[in-house]
C-alpha cells in the first residue's frame, strides 16, 4: 500500500477499479492492485468490455466456445462478462468476508435496452445475479426516473444493486429513497433487510459539459461542487430518523460511490477528482491510469467536510454565469443513458462480427 492509498483508507474511503479485462485477471494485475494499492472492488460497463474485446485476442477462444454452445448476442455477452466477473469476485471474496459484506464488490450491467420496463429489468437483474452465483456481485441499474421502480423492486427481491447514472443531489436522493422503500418492504414482509447497494454519482462529466462555455476559472470545479453537495445529503440521510429505523431493524447503509473520476483534460493532474473527493464512508472507482498516478503521486489528501464545504457558494457562481444546474443534471442523465444504449449495441455488434469471423476461420 502506498502513502496516498494508505491515507485514503485511513480517511475511510474504499478504492475500486473502474476496469476489468481477462488479461488483467490472467497476468495478476488485478491481484497486484488489490495487494499493493489496497483496491477492494471494481466496476464495469459495456464500453469497458467492448474495449477489452476489441483490444485483445484473449476473448477469441471463449467467444468461440460460447458460440459453439449455441449462445449469441446478449446471452453470449452476459456469460462472457460473468466469466470475468466471477473470477474478479473471487479475488475480492476475502475482502468481502472481512468487511462483513461492506466491501469487496464487483458490478455487472443490466441491459440498458430494458430501461423503460421495470418488471423486465428486475427479471434480468435476478437472472444475472443467479447466474453469477457470487454473493459479492452488484447488478447495475440506472437511477433514471424509469429505473427507480426497478431499483426498489430489485432491492425488495434481495438483489444487491449498484445504482448508476446519478448526476445531482436530487437524483441521488431519489435513488436513495427507492433503495429505502425496497428495504422497508422487506422489513414489513419479515425478510432480511441486509441487501447491499451503492449509489454512483458521476463527477467529471459536469466539467466536460461546461468546458468552452464559461470563462476559464469556471471550466473546472462544478463536478467537485456537485459531488460535495451530494455528500452533504448523504451524511444528512445517515443521521435521519428514517435511516436510524432501518439500522435498528438490521439494515446496512447504501454507500455513496464516486464514478467518472478520471480527468478529461491532459493538462490537469490525473488525481484531481480523487484528491478532492476523499470522503469518509464512500467509494471512489477510478480508471486504471488514474489509480496508477494516484498510487505513485504521494500527495496526501484531506477528508471532505460533512457539510460539503464551499459547494453551495461554488454552485451559485455557476448559476450566476448562466448554468441551470437542475436542467444540466437531467440532460447529463439522459445523455448518459443514451450513451449506454449505444455502447451496448456496439458491443453486441462487435461480438457478432467476431463470432462470425472465428467460426469461419
- CA-based nearest residue to 338, from 143, 113, 141: 113
Q: Which residues, in sequence order, are CB contacts of 195 under 8 Å at separation 6+?
A: 155, 158, 159, 160, 161, 182, 183, 186, 251
Distance CA 42, CA 106 (A): 5
The label of the residue with cell 464551499 reads: 310
Cell of 217: 476559472
Per the CB < 8 A criterion, the answer to whether 31 and 20 are in contact is: no
- How many other β-carbons are positioned within 10 Å of the β-carbon of residue 65? 14
**Is 140 a known active-site residue?**
yes
Q: Which of 111, 115, 166, 159 is nearest to 138 (CA)?
A: 159
Query: β-strands 39-42, 137-142: how paired?
Result: unpaired
**Beta-carbon-side half-sphere exposure of residue 23 (alpha carbons within 13 Å):** 12
Return d(Cα 204, Cα 218) in angstroms, integer: 14
Strands of 39-42's sheet in order across = 39-42, 13-17, 282-286, 255-259, 197-202, 161-166, 137-142, 106-109
Of the candidates 19, 92, 3, the one whose C-alpha atom is nearest the C-alpha of residue 294 is 3
Transcribe 253-300 into DSSP letters: PPEEEEE--S-S-TTS-TTHHHHHT--TTEEEEE-HHHHHHHHHH---
The answer to whether 186 and 129 have CB atoms below 8 angstroms apart is no
Contacts of 70 (CB under 8 A, 6+ apart): none
Give the C-alpha separation, 105 to 107, whole Å. Answer: 7
Catalytic residue among 140, 264, 289, 354: 140
Catalytic positions are 140
Amino acid at each position: 500500500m502506498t502513502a496516498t492509498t494508505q491515507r485514503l483508507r485511513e480517511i475511510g474511503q474504499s478504492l475500486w477499479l473502474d476496469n476489468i479485462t481477462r488479461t488483467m485477471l490472467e497476468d495478476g494485475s488485478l491481484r497486484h492492485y488489490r495487494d499493493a494499492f489496497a483496491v477492494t472492488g471494481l466496476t464495469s460497463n459495456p464500453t469497458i468490455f467492448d474495449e477489452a474485446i476489441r483490444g485483445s485476442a484473449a476473448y477469441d477462444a471463449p467467444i468461440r466456445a460460447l458460440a459453439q454452445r449455441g449462445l449469441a448476442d446478449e446471452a453470449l455477452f452476459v456469460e462472457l462478462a460473468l466469466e470475468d466477473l466471477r473470477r474478479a469476485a473471487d479475488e475480492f471474496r476475502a475482502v468481502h468476508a472481512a468487511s462483513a459484506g461492506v466491501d469487496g464488490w464487483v458490478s455487472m450491467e443490466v441491459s440498458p435496452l430494458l430501461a423503460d420496463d421495470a418488471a423486465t429489468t428486475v427479471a434480468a437483474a435476478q437472472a444475472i445475479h443467479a447466474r453469477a452465483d457470487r454473493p459479492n456481485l452488484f447488478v447495475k441499474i440506472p437511477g433514471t426516473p424509469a429505473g427507480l421502480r426497478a431499483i426498489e423492486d430489485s432491492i425488495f427481491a434481495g438483489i444487491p444493486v449498484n445504482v448508476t447514472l446519478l448526476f445531482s443531489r436530487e437524483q441521488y436522493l431519489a435513488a436513495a429513497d427507492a433503495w429505502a422503500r425496497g428495504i422497508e418492504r422487506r422489513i414489513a414482509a419479515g425478510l432480511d433487510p441486509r441487501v447491499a447497494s451503492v449509489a454512483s454519482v458521476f463527477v467529471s462529466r459536469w466539467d466536460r459539459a461546461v468546458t468552452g462555455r464559461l470563462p476559464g476559472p469556471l471550466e473546472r470545479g462544478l463536478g467537485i461542487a456537485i459531488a460535495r453537495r451530494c455528500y452533504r445529503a448523504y451524511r444528512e440521510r445517515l443521521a435521519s430518523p428514517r435511516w436510524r429505523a432501518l439500522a435498528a431493524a438490521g439494515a446496512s447503509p447504501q454507500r455513496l460511490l464516486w464514478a467518472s473520476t478520471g480527468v478529461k483534460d491532459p493538462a490537469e493532474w490525473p488525481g484531481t477528482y480523487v484528491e478532492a473527493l476523499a470522503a469518509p464512508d464512500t467509494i471512489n472507482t477510478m480508471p486504471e491510469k488514474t489509480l496508477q498516478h494516484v498510487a505513485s503521486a504521494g500527495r496526501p489528501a484531506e477528508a471532505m467536510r460533512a457539510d460539503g464545504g464551499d459547494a453551495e457558494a461554488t454552485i451559485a457562481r455557476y448559476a450566476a454565469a448562466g448554468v441551470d444546474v437542475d436542467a444540466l443534471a437531467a440532460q447529463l442523465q439522459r445523455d448518459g443513458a443514451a450513451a449506454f444504449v449505444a455502447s451496448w449495441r456496439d458491443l453486441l455488434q462487435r461480438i457478432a462480427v467476431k463470432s462470425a469471423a472465428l467460426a469461419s476461420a
